[in-house]
Structure 1
Amino acid sequence: MSELKAGQKAPEFTVNDQNGNTVTLSEFAGKKVVLYFYPKDDTPGCTAEACNFRDNYQGLTAQGIVVLGVSVDDEKSHQKFITKHNLPFPLLADTDKKIVEAYGIWGEKNMYGKKYMGISRKTFLIDENGVISHIIEKVDTANSTAQVLDLLNS
Protein backbone atom coordinates (compact mmCIF):
# COMPACT_ATOMS: atom_id res chain seq x y z
CA MET A 1 0.00 0.00 0.00
CA SER A 2 1.24 3.48 -0.81
CA GLU A 3 1.92 5.94 1.97
CA LEU A 4 -1.05 8.02 3.09
CA LYS A 5 -0.93 11.78 2.58
CA ALA A 6 -2.93 14.78 3.72
CA GLY A 7 -5.94 15.26 1.44
CA GLN A 8 -6.64 11.54 1.10
CA LYS A 9 -9.68 9.81 2.55
CA ALA A 10 -8.75 8.18 5.87
CA PRO A 11 -9.00 4.38 5.71
CA GLU A 12 -12.19 3.11 7.37
CA PHE A 13 -11.81 0.65 10.22
CA THR A 14 -13.86 -1.47 12.58
CA VAL A 15 -12.16 -2.56 15.78
CA ASN A 16 -12.87 -3.10 19.48
CA ASP A 17 -12.03 -0.57 22.15
CA GLN A 18 -10.76 -1.44 25.62
CA ASN A 19 -14.26 -2.55 26.70
CA GLY A 20 -14.98 -4.73 23.68
CA ASN A 21 -17.25 -2.12 22.08
CA THR A 22 -17.09 -1.92 18.31
CA VAL A 23 -15.67 1.37 17.03
CA THR A 24 -15.68 2.54 13.41
CA LEU A 25 -14.14 5.66 11.96
CA SER A 26 -17.38 6.52 10.13
CA GLU A 27 -19.27 6.87 13.43
CA PHE A 28 -17.33 10.09 14.00
CA ALA A 29 -18.46 11.73 10.75
CA GLY A 30 -19.02 15.44 11.35
CA LYS A 31 -16.27 15.59 14.00
CA LYS A 32 -12.54 16.13 13.88
CA VAL A 33 -10.62 13.03 14.94
CA VAL A 34 -7.14 12.76 16.42
CA LEU A 35 -6.11 9.20 15.58
CA TYR A 36 -2.82 8.62 17.31
CA PHE A 37 -0.75 5.48 16.98
CA TYR A 38 1.64 4.44 19.72
CA PRO A 39 3.90 1.39 20.18
CA LYS A 40 2.94 -0.06 23.57
CA ASP A 41 0.75 0.54 26.62
CA ASP A 42 2.42 1.85 29.77
CA THR A 43 5.87 2.56 28.33
CA PRO A 44 7.49 5.95 29.05
CA GLY A 45 6.90 7.74 25.73
CA CYS A 46 3.45 6.25 25.23
CA THR A 47 2.43 7.20 28.77
CA ALA A 48 3.70 10.77 28.29
CA GLU A 49 1.68 11.09 25.07
CA ALA A 50 -1.50 9.59 26.52
CA CYS A 51 -1.27 11.74 29.66
CA ASN A 52 -0.73 14.87 27.58
CA PHE A 53 -3.95 14.14 25.70
CA ARG A 54 -5.65 13.36 29.04
CA ASP A 55 -4.53 16.63 30.61
CA ASN A 56 -5.85 18.63 27.63
CA TYR A 57 -8.88 16.46 26.88
CA GLN A 58 -11.57 18.94 27.94
CA GLY A 59 -10.10 21.62 25.70
CA LEU A 60 -10.03 19.22 22.77
CA THR A 61 -13.60 18.01 23.26
CA ALA A 62 -14.76 21.62 23.67
CA GLN A 63 -13.57 22.13 20.08
CA GLY A 64 -15.47 19.06 18.91
CA ILE A 65 -12.34 16.92 18.64
CA VAL A 66 -12.45 13.15 19.28
CA VAL A 67 -9.26 11.45 20.54
CA LEU A 68 -8.61 7.80 19.70
CA GLY A 69 -5.42 5.96 20.63
CA VAL A 70 -4.37 2.85 18.69
CA SER A 71 -1.83 0.13 19.41
CA VAL A 72 -1.67 -3.60 18.81
CA ASP A 73 -2.06 -4.29 22.54
CA ASP A 74 -5.19 -6.22 23.56
CA GLU A 75 -8.29 -4.96 25.37
CA LYS A 76 -7.09 -6.12 28.79
CA SER A 77 -3.79 -4.26 28.41
CA HIS A 78 -5.69 -1.12 27.32
CA GLN A 79 -8.01 -1.40 30.34
CA LYS A 80 -5.04 -1.49 32.72
CA PHE A 81 -3.37 1.47 30.96
CA ILE A 82 -6.59 3.54 31.08
CA THR A 83 -7.21 2.72 34.75
CA LYS A 84 -3.62 3.38 35.84
CA HIS A 85 -3.46 6.79 34.12
CA ASN A 86 -7.15 7.80 34.26
CA LEU A 87 -7.44 8.19 30.49
CA PRO A 88 -10.81 9.64 29.39
CA PHE A 89 -10.69 8.51 25.74
CA PRO A 90 -10.92 5.10 24.04
CA LEU A 91 -7.93 2.98 23.15
CA LEU A 92 -8.43 0.74 20.15
CA ALA A 93 -7.12 -2.82 20.27
CA ASP A 94 -5.72 -3.46 16.80
CA THR A 95 -4.56 -6.97 17.64
CA ASP A 96 -4.89 -8.19 14.04
CA LYS A 97 -2.87 -5.18 12.81
CA LYS A 98 -5.45 -4.19 10.19
CA ILE A 99 -5.51 -0.50 11.14
CA VAL A 100 -1.74 -0.08 11.53
CA GLU A 101 -1.24 -1.72 8.14
CA ALA A 102 -3.98 0.37 6.47
CA TYR A 103 -2.37 3.55 7.82
CA GLY A 104 1.12 2.37 6.82
CA ILE A 105 2.72 2.53 10.24
CA TRP A 106 3.49 -1.15 10.84
CA GLY A 107 6.98 -2.01 9.69
CA GLU A 108 10.55 -2.82 10.46
CA LYS A 109 12.14 -0.91 13.31
CA ASN A 110 15.68 -0.91 14.60
CA MET A 111 16.65 -0.51 18.25
CA TYR A 112 20.20 -1.02 19.51
CA GLY A 113 21.06 -2.82 16.28
CA LYS A 114 18.18 -5.29 16.67
CA LYS A 115 15.56 -5.32 13.93
CA TYR A 116 11.94 -6.10 14.72
CA MET A 117 8.42 -5.35 13.47
CA GLY A 118 6.47 -2.65 15.26
CA ILE A 119 4.44 0.55 15.20
CA SER A 120 5.91 3.88 14.18
CA ARG A 121 4.53 6.62 16.43
CA LYS A 122 2.41 8.88 14.23
CA THR A 123 -0.70 11.02 14.57
CA PHE A 124 -3.36 11.52 11.90
CA LEU A 125 -5.74 14.47 12.05
CA ILE A 126 -8.96 13.60 10.25
CA ASP A 127 -11.52 16.25 9.35
CA GLU A 128 -15.31 16.15 9.62
CA ASN A 129 -15.56 14.55 6.16
CA GLY A 130 -13.19 11.67 6.94
CA VAL A 131 -10.28 13.21 5.05
CA ILE A 132 -6.76 13.31 6.49
CA SER A 133 -6.01 16.99 7.08
CA HIS A 134 -2.57 16.58 8.68
CA ILE A 135 -0.09 13.85 9.57
CA ILE A 136 2.32 14.41 12.44
CA GLU A 137 5.40 12.34 11.58
CA LYS A 138 7.59 13.46 14.48
CA VAL A 139 5.41 13.32 17.58
CA ASP A 140 6.55 15.26 20.64
CA THR A 141 5.07 12.93 23.26
CA ALA A 142 5.13 15.51 26.07
CA ASN A 143 3.47 18.16 23.87
CA SER A 144 1.30 16.12 21.52
CA THR A 145 -1.85 18.20 22.16
CA ALA A 146 -0.03 21.43 21.33
CA GLN A 147 1.18 19.88 18.05
CA VAL A 148 -2.40 18.92 17.17
CA LEU A 149 -3.90 22.30 18.08
CA ASP A 150 -1.18 24.26 16.27
CA LEU A 151 -2.07 22.40 13.05
CA LEU A 152 -5.84 22.53 13.51
CA ASN A 153 -5.87 26.22 14.37
CA SER A 154 -3.42 27.33 11.68
Structure 2
Amino acid sequence: MTTRLQPGDTAPSFTLLDADEKEVSLADYRGRRVVVYFYPAASTPGCTKQACDFRDNLAELNDAGLDVVGISPDKPAKLAKFRDKEGLTFPLLSDPDRATLEAYGAFGEKKMYGKTVTGVIRSTFVIDAEGKVEEAQYNVRATGHVAKLRKDLAV
Protein backbone atom coordinates (compact mmCIF):
# COMPACT_ATOMS: atom_id res chain seq x y z
CA MET A 1 0.00 0.00 0.00
CA THR A 2 1.26 3.46 -0.92
CA THR A 3 1.98 5.82 1.98
CA ARG A 4 -0.36 8.79 1.98
CA LEU A 5 0.61 12.19 3.35
CA GLN A 6 -1.70 13.97 5.76
CA PRO A 7 -2.08 17.64 6.69
CA GLY A 8 0.60 18.50 9.26
CA ASP A 9 3.18 16.07 7.83
CA THR A 10 6.53 17.49 6.77
CA ALA A 11 6.53 17.64 2.97
CA PRO A 12 9.22 15.38 1.49
CA SER A 13 12.04 17.51 0.13
CA PHE A 14 13.05 17.21 -3.51
CA THR A 15 15.47 18.63 -6.04
CA LEU A 16 14.47 17.88 -9.64
CA LEU A 17 15.31 19.21 -13.08
CA ASP A 18 12.86 21.58 -14.74
CA ALA A 19 12.09 21.79 -18.46
CA ASP A 20 15.31 23.79 -18.98
CA GLU A 21 17.37 21.22 -17.01
CA LYS A 22 17.86 23.62 -14.09
CA GLU A 23 17.54 22.28 -10.54
CA VAL A 24 14.44 23.28 -8.60
CA SER A 25 14.04 22.31 -4.94
CA LEU A 26 11.12 22.43 -2.56
CA ALA A 27 13.46 24.47 -0.33
CA ASP A 28 13.40 27.22 -3.00
CA TYR A 29 9.80 27.90 -1.91
CA ARG A 30 10.50 28.15 1.84
CA GLY A 31 8.63 31.15 3.21
CA ARG A 32 5.87 30.85 0.58
CA ARG A 33 2.98 28.49 0.07
CA VAL A 34 3.28 26.23 -2.97
CA VAL A 35 0.88 23.96 -4.81
CA VAL A 36 2.75 20.82 -5.89
CA TYR A 37 0.72 18.71 -8.29
CA PHE A 38 1.60 15.35 -9.81
CA TYR A 39 0.31 14.31 -13.22
CA PRO A 40 0.85 11.19 -15.35
CA ALA A 41 2.16 12.51 -18.68
CA ALA A 42 2.72 15.80 -20.50
CA SER A 43 0.66 16.47 -23.62
CA THR A 44 -2.09 13.93 -22.84
CA PRO A 45 -5.66 15.31 -22.88
CA GLY A 46 -6.34 15.24 -19.12
CA CYS A 47 -2.90 16.50 -18.15
CA THR A 48 -3.09 19.30 -20.73
CA LYS A 49 -6.51 20.37 -19.40
CA GLN A 50 -5.23 20.38 -15.82
CA ALA A 51 -2.01 22.29 -16.67
CA CYS A 52 -3.96 24.88 -18.68
CA ASP A 53 -6.39 25.31 -15.75
CA PHE A 54 -3.44 26.05 -13.46
CA ARG A 55 -2.03 28.43 -16.10
CA ASP A 56 -5.36 30.24 -16.44
CA ASN A 57 -5.73 30.61 -12.65
CA LEU A 58 -2.08 31.33 -11.89
CA ALA A 59 -2.49 35.09 -11.34
CA GLU A 60 -5.20 34.57 -8.70
CA LEU A 61 -3.21 31.80 -7.02
CA ASN A 62 -0.05 33.96 -7.02
CA ASP A 63 -2.03 36.92 -5.64
CA ALA A 64 -3.14 34.65 -2.79
CA GLY A 65 0.53 33.83 -2.07
CA LEU A 66 0.56 30.45 -3.80
CA ASP A 67 3.18 29.31 -6.30
CA VAL A 68 2.50 26.28 -8.55
CA VAL A 69 4.82 23.42 -9.53
CA GLY A 70 3.87 20.43 -11.69
CA ILE A 71 5.76 17.12 -11.48
CA SER A 72 5.63 14.11 -13.81
CA PRO A 73 7.97 11.26 -14.82
CA ASP A 74 8.54 12.95 -18.22
CA LYS A 75 12.06 13.94 -19.32
CA PRO A 76 12.94 17.68 -19.38
CA ALA A 77 12.84 17.85 -23.21
CA LYS A 78 9.24 16.58 -23.27
CA LEU A 79 8.33 19.05 -20.49
CA ALA A 80 9.87 21.92 -22.48
CA LYS A 81 7.84 21.01 -25.56
CA PHE A 82 4.64 20.78 -23.44
CA ARG A 83 5.37 24.10 -21.68
CA ASP A 84 6.07 25.91 -24.95
CA LYS A 85 3.08 24.45 -26.81
CA GLU A 86 0.61 25.30 -24.01
CA GLY A 87 2.21 28.58 -22.86
CA LEU A 88 2.71 27.30 -19.31
CA THR A 89 4.35 29.85 -17.01
CA PHE A 90 5.07 27.76 -13.91
CA PRO A 91 7.81 25.16 -13.40
CA LEU A 92 7.32 21.63 -14.69
CA LEU A 93 9.70 19.19 -13.02
CA SER A 94 11.01 15.84 -14.21
CA ASP A 95 10.95 12.84 -11.84
CA PRO A 96 11.98 9.96 -14.14
CA ASP A 97 12.93 7.59 -11.31
CA ARG A 98 9.62 8.43 -9.56
CA ALA A 99 11.34 8.89 -6.16
CA THR A 100 9.48 12.14 -5.44
CA LEU A 101 6.20 10.70 -6.74
CA GLU A 102 6.63 7.75 -4.38
CA ALA A 103 7.64 9.97 -1.43
CA TYR A 104 4.36 11.87 -1.82
CA GLY A 105 2.30 8.71 -2.30
CA ALA A 106 1.51 9.80 -5.87
CA PHE A 107 2.73 6.59 -7.52
CA GLY A 108 1.21 3.19 -6.97
CA GLU A 109 -1.86 1.10 -7.66
CA LYS A 110 -4.85 2.87 -9.10
CA LYS A 111 -8.00 1.98 -11.01
CA MET A 112 -8.04 2.84 -14.70
CA TYR A 113 -10.98 1.81 -16.88
CA GLY A 114 -11.97 -0.74 -14.25
CA LYS A 115 -8.54 -2.40 -14.10
CA THR A 116 -5.95 -2.10 -11.34
CA VAL A 117 -2.73 -0.67 -12.76
CA THR A 118 0.46 0.81 -11.32
CA GLY A 119 1.17 4.39 -12.29
CA VAL A 120 1.03 8.05 -11.37
CA ILE A 121 -1.87 8.88 -9.06
CA ARG A 122 -3.06 12.38 -10.02
CA SER A 123 -2.52 14.23 -6.74
CA THR A 124 -2.23 17.79 -5.43
CA PHE A 125 -0.57 19.10 -2.29
CA VAL A 126 -0.47 22.54 -0.74
CA ILE A 127 2.76 23.03 1.20
CA ASP A 128 2.82 25.86 3.73
CA ALA A 129 5.61 28.42 4.22
CA GLU A 130 7.33 26.16 6.81
CA GLY A 131 7.34 23.08 4.56
CA LYS A 132 4.37 21.30 6.14
CA VAL A 133 1.55 19.67 4.17
CA GLU A 134 -1.51 21.90 4.39
CA GLU A 135 -3.67 19.93 1.91
CA ALA A 136 -3.19 16.43 0.48
CA GLN A 137 -5.62 15.45 -2.27
CA TYR A 138 -5.30 12.10 -4.05
CA ASN A 139 -7.08 10.76 -7.13
CA VAL A 140 -8.11 14.25 -8.20
CA ARG A 141 -9.92 14.81 -11.48
CA ALA A 142 -8.10 16.62 -14.29
CA THR A 143 -11.18 18.66 -15.17
CA GLY A 144 -12.53 21.05 -12.56
CA HIS A 145 -9.79 20.32 -10.04
CA VAL A 146 -8.28 23.82 -10.00
CA ALA A 147 -11.72 25.37 -9.39
CA LYS A 148 -12.27 22.95 -6.49
CA LEU A 149 -8.81 23.73 -5.10
CA ARG A 150 -9.49 27.47 -5.28
CA LYS A 151 -12.78 26.92 -3.44
CA ASP A 152 -11.08 24.73 -0.79
CA LEU A 153 -8.41 27.42 -0.27
CA ALA A 154 -10.86 30.35 -0.54
CA VAL A 155 -8.85 31.88 -3.41
- Match of 1:83, as an amino acid? D
Counterpart residue number, 1:27: 28
Alignment of 1:3-152 (within 5 A): 3-112=4-113, 116-152=117-153
Distance in 1, matches of 2:141 and 2:107, equals 19
Q: Encode CA deviations 1:112-153: one digit per residue, 9 max, x unaligned.
A: 466543100010111111111111224232322222222222
Q: Encode CA deviations 1:12-56: one digit per residue, 9 max, x unaligned.
A: 011111111101101101111100000111111111100000111
Distance in 1, matches of 2:112 and 2:144, equals 24
- Structure 1 runs of 4+ aligned residues shifted over 3 Å read 109-116
- Match of 1:143, as an amino acid? G
Normalising by structure 2, what TM-score? 0.91
Range that drifts further, 111-120 or 39-48: 111-120
Distance in 2, matches of 1:136 and 1:114, equals 22
Aligned length: 154
Secondary structure of the corresponding residue to residue 101 of structure 2: helix
Q: Percent identity?
A: 42
Secondary structure of the corresponding residue to residue 142 of structure 1: coil
Distance in 2, matches of 1:23 and 1:138, equals 25
Q: Encode CA deviations 1:59-86: one digit per residue, 9 max, x unaligned.
A: 1111221100010000011011101110
Distance in 2, matches of 1:65 and 1:141, equals 19
Distance in 1, matches of 2:35 and 2:148, equals 11
- Match of 2:66, as an amino acid? I
Q: Encode CA deviations 1:79-108: one digit per residue, 9 max, x unaligned.
A: 111011100101000011110011111113
Range that drifts further, 102-111 or 45-54: 102-111
Distance in 1, matches of 2:3 and 2:143, equals 30
Secondary structure of the corresponding residue to residue 83 of structure 1: helix
CA contact (8 A) 1:100 1:119 kept: yes
Secondary structure of the corresponding residue to residue 141 of structure 1: coil
